[in-house]
Amino acid sequence: MKKSSNAHHKHVKGSLCLIPPLLLAVLFYLQFQTLGFFSSIFPCGAGQSAAAGDYIDRLRASATFLPLKDTREWAEAWFISNVGDTSEPEGEAKNIFFPSPVTDGRLLCLSAPSRRDGTKNAYALAWRDALPDDAELRTGLAYVSETAYDHSNLWHGISALIPFASWHARGVCEGRGRRETTPARWALFHHGEVRLGMSPWLTSLAEATTGVDMVVETFNASYTPVCFEEAVVFRRNMAGMTRERLLAAFDFMRCKARAQCGVVDGGDPSVVNVTILFRTGARAFKDEAAVTRVFQNECARVAGCKLTTARSDNLTFCDQVRLMSGTDVLISSHGAQMTNLVFMERNSSIMEFYPKGWRERAGGGQFVYRWGADRAGMRHEGSWWDPNGEPCPNSPDILSCYKNRQIGHDEAYFAQWAAKVFAANKERKAGLAAGVAASTRQREATTTCCS
Ligand SMILES: *[C@@H]1O[C@H](CO)[C@@H](O)[C@H](O)[C@H]1NC(C)=O
Ligand SMILES: *[C@@H]1O[C@H](CO)[C@@H](O)[C@H](O)[C@H]1NC(C)=O
Ligand SMILES: *[C@@H]1O[C@H](CO)[C@@H](O)[C@H](O)[C@H]1NC(C)=O
Ligand SMILES: *[C@@H]1O[C@H](CO)[C@@H](O)[C@H](O)[C@H]1NC(C)=O
C-alpha cells in the first residue's frame, strides 16, 4: 500500500484506520460462526446466530466500490489504485493476486457496466462469505488485464499477454504443489473500460499458451458485481519482469503454439531459410519482384540457403506459426505481421523496412520490433528507411502523410546487407550444430515444461 502522491497518502491512511475495526469484525464473525455451529445443537444460541448474521450483513455492507480508473493516478497505476502490486513470485511482472495476504484474504469484485468510461466502472474487495448484495461469484481463476495500449494491435496485445503467459508457464513448469494457473476466464480492460476480446491472432496465441479456450467476462453492460474466486491482475504490461522470465515466457508461448499447430522441431542445421513476408497495401514494397530477385540472388550464394515468399494477409494462425518456425531470416516491412517473429527459433534474424519519413518523424515507437526481437531472444539486424518519396511540407503531424506509404528498394544496399546477414546466420547455425549437446539440453528443458 505504498503510495507516492500526497492525496493518496491521506486516503490510504484513512483506509488503514479502518483496518482494526474491520479485523475485529472478522474475528467476531468467525467466532460467531463457530458459536452458530453449536447453536444448532444448543437452541439457547439462537440469539447469537442472529448476531452472526448481523455481522455478516455488516461486512457485506462494508465492501466499498471505488472507481476502477482513478484519474488522480498516472496511466499504469490508476487501475485498482488502492492496492499495491509486487513482482511476486520473484522476477514476474508486477501483479496483484486475489485473495492473498495483500488483500487481507479478500476477493476482487467488479461492477463494470461501461465500455467507454473507466471512471464509471468500480471495484471492491470482499470476503468470500460476505460478498456485496446481488454479487455473482465466478469460480476458478480469472486473468484480469488492464493495458494502456490495447488488446487488438498484435504488438500492443502481446505486451499485455506476456505476463499471463509467464504466470501460467510457471505453474506448468514448476508443477505440483502450486496453485491453479490456468484461467477459467479473462477480464480485459483498457483505461478501465471493458473490452470484449482480443484480436483473433492474440486469442489463438493465448489459447495455445494456456491450453484452454478464452472465455471473456463481458460484465453484460450491467452494474451487477462480479466477484472472482481467484484473480491475478496485471496492469503494467511487462514492467517488473526480469529478462530471464521474459525469455522463458516467449520460449513457452513459442513451444505451445508450435505444439498446437503440429510443428515438429529439429530442422537441418546446414539449411538457412529466408522468408520475405509481404504486406498488401500500406507499407508494401512497390516492386515485390525486384525485392525478391535481390534477396534470391544473395541466397543463391550461400550453401543451403532457401528463399520463401509469403503474404501475411491470407495466412491462418497456424500457417504463420509453421512458416516462422522454419524461418532463420525474416525480411519484412514495419507492421503487425512482424509480431510473428516470436515463433522463430531463438537467435534468428530480422531485417526491417520503412517508407520515407519514418526515420525522422515517427519517434521511438517505430522501434517496437527491434525491442520485441530483443525481448524474444532474436537478432534484429537493422532497418532500411526509404530515402526517396514525395516530401510532406504541410503535414500537420508526424505521420499523417508518410505513415502508410509504399516502400522502394536499393539493390546494391540490400545485396550487401543480405550477404552479411545470411552468412552470419549460417555461421551461427553451424556453430550451434557443433555444440549439439548444449542445444539438446536446452530443447529438453523447454519440451518438458511445455508438454
Ligand atoms: C444481461 O443483462 C440483461 C438486462 O440488463 C438481463 O436481462 C440478462 O439476463 C443478462 N444476461 C446475463 C447473461 O447475465
Ligand atoms: C493467398 O492468396 C493468394 C492470392 O491472393 C492465393 O493464391 C493463395 O492460395 C492464398 N493462400 C492461402 C494459404 O490461402
Ligand atoms: C526450411 O524450410 C523447409 C520448408 O520450406 C522446412 O521443411 C525445413 O524444416 C526448414 N528448415 C529449418 C532448418 O527450419
Ligand atoms: C545465441 O547466440 C549466442 C551467440 O551469439 C549464443 O551464445 C547463444 O547460446 C545462442 N542461443 C541460442 C538459444 O541458440
Distance CA 184, CA 70 (A): 27
**The pLDDT of residue 435:** 72
Residues with CB under 6 A from ligand 3: 267-268, 271, 273, 306, 308, 326
For the four alpha carbons of 27, 29, 33 and 36, in that order, the dihedral sign comes to: positive
Is the minimum distance from the CB of 432 to ligand 4 under 6 angstroms? Answer: yes
| Residue 314 in contact with ligand 2 by CB distance below 6 A | yes
The mean pLDDT of 312-338, rounded to a whole number, is 94
Q: Please state whether beta strands 122-126 and 272-278 pair in parallel, antiparallel, or not at all (unpaired).
A: unpaired
Residue type (1 letter), 222: S
How far is 79 from 95, CA to CA, in rounded Å?
11
Q: For 355-438, where are the E strands, in sequence order?
A: 379-385
Which range has the worst mean pLDDT, 100-104, 150-154, 224-228, 291-295?
A: 150-154
List, for residues 417-448, the tens digit of each pLDDT value: 999 999 999 999 888 777 765 555 455 445 54
Closest residue by CA, ligand 3 atom 6: 326
Whether 56 shows a pLDDT value over 50: the answer reads yes
Compute the average pLDDT of residues 298-318: 94
Of all helices (H) and strands (E), which one includes residue 383?
A: strand 379-385
Kindly tell me if the per-residue pLDDT of 39 is higher than 80.
no
> Which of 280, 308, 311, 321 maximizes ligand 2 atoms within 8 Å of its Cβ, making it the mutation to test the pocket?
311
What percentage of the chain exceeds 70 in pLDDT? 84
Q: Would you say the CB of residue 40 lies under 6 angstroms from ligand 1?
A: no
For atom 11 of ligand 3, which residue has the closest CA?
267
Lowest mean pLDDT among 46-50, 242-246, 258-262: 46-50
Query: Residue 109, SS3?
Result: strand
Query: Grid coordinates in use for 390?
Result: 514525395
Q: Best of 308, 311, 314 to mutate for ligand 2, by most ligand atoms within 8 A of CB?
A: 314
- Residue 379: pLDDT over 70: yes
Integer Cα distance of 15 and 27 in angstroms: 19
Reported as a pLDDT band with limits 50, 70 and 90, residue 341 is very high
Q: H or E segment at 208?
A: helix 200-210
**Which atom of ligand 3 has the smallest separation from the CA of 269?**
13
Query: Element (H or E) spanning 354, and its range?
Result: strand 349-354
Confidence of residue 33 (pLDDT cuts 50, 70, 90): very low
| Residue with CA closest to ligand 1 atom 6 | 220
Q: Which ligand is nearest to the CA of 323?
A: 3
Q: How far apart are CA 186 and CA 215, in angstroms?
A: 6
Confidence of residue 226 (pLDDT cuts 50, 70, 90): very high
| Amino acid, res. 136 | E
Q: Cα separation of 173 and 418, whole Å?
A: 39
Identity of the amino acid at 140: G
Ligand 1 centre distance from Cα of residue 135 (Å)? 13
136 Cα nearest atom in ligand 1: 14
In SS3 terms, 269-318 reads as CCCEEEEEEECCCCCCECCHHHHHHHHHHHHHCCCCEEEEEEEHHHCCHH
Ligand 2 binding pocket includes 309 (Cβ within 6 Å): no
Q: Answer whether the bond into residue 113 is a cis peptide, omega within 30°.
A: no
Q: What does the pLDDT read at residue 419?
A: 98
Highest mean pLDDT among 6-10, 43-47, 167-171: 167-171
**Sorting pLDDT into bands at 50, 70 and 90, what band is 31?**
very low
Q: What's the mean per-residue pLDDT of the chain? A: 86
Which residue minimizes the CA distance to atom 8 of ligand 2? 314
Band of the pLDDT at 109, cuts 50, 70, 90? very high
Query: Is the per-residue pLDDT at 8 higher than 50?
Result: no
Closest ligand 2 atom, residue 319 Cα: 13
Give dist(CA 329, CA 301) in Å, integer.
Answer: 15
pLDDT at 5: 40
Q: What is the pLDDT of residue 328?
A: 97
Of the segments 70-79, 144-153, 390-399, which one has the largest average pLDDT value? 144-153
Q: Copy the grid coordinates of residue 275.
A: 522468408
Mean pLDDT along residues 179-200: 95
Overall pTM surpassing 0.75 (yes/no): yes
CATH, domain 263-450, list 3.40.50.360, 3.40.640.10, 3.10.180.10, 3.40.50.10470: 3.40.50.360
Distance CA 25, CA 262 (A): 56
Q: Does the CB atom of residue 440 touch ligand 1 within 6 A? A: no
Report pLDDT for 7. Answer: 39
C-alpha span between 56 and 101 (Å, rounded): 20
C-alpha 176 – ligand 2 centre gap (Å): 45
pLDDT band at 1 (very low <50, low <70, confident <90, very high): very low
Using pLDDT thresholds of 50, 70 and 90, give the confidence band for residue 250.
very high
Within 8 A by CB and 6+ apart from 139, the residues are 184, 229
> Does any ligand 4 atom lie closer than 6 A to the CB of residue 424?
no
Atom of ligand 4 lying closest to residue 346 CA: 13
Please give the number of the atom of ligand 2 that sits closest to the Cα of 315: 13
Q: Where is pLDDT greater, at 75 or 168?
A: 168
Over residues 25-48, the mean pLDDT reads 48
Residue type, 82: N
Domain ranges of the chain: 60-241, 263-450
- Give the pLDDT of residue 76: 77
- Mean pLDDT for the stretch of residues 325-338: 96
Alpha carbon separation from 4 to 65, 249, 288 (Å, rounded): 22, 31, 53
pLDDT over 80 at 177, yes or no: no
Residue 404 pLDDT class (50, 70, 90 cuts): confident
Grid coordinates representing 368? 517496437
The yes-or-no verdict on residue 158 having pLDDT over 80 is yes
Distance 339 CA to ligand 3 centre (A): 20
pLDDT higher than threshold 50 for residue 11? no
Task: Give the percent of the chain with pLDDT over 90.
Answer: 67
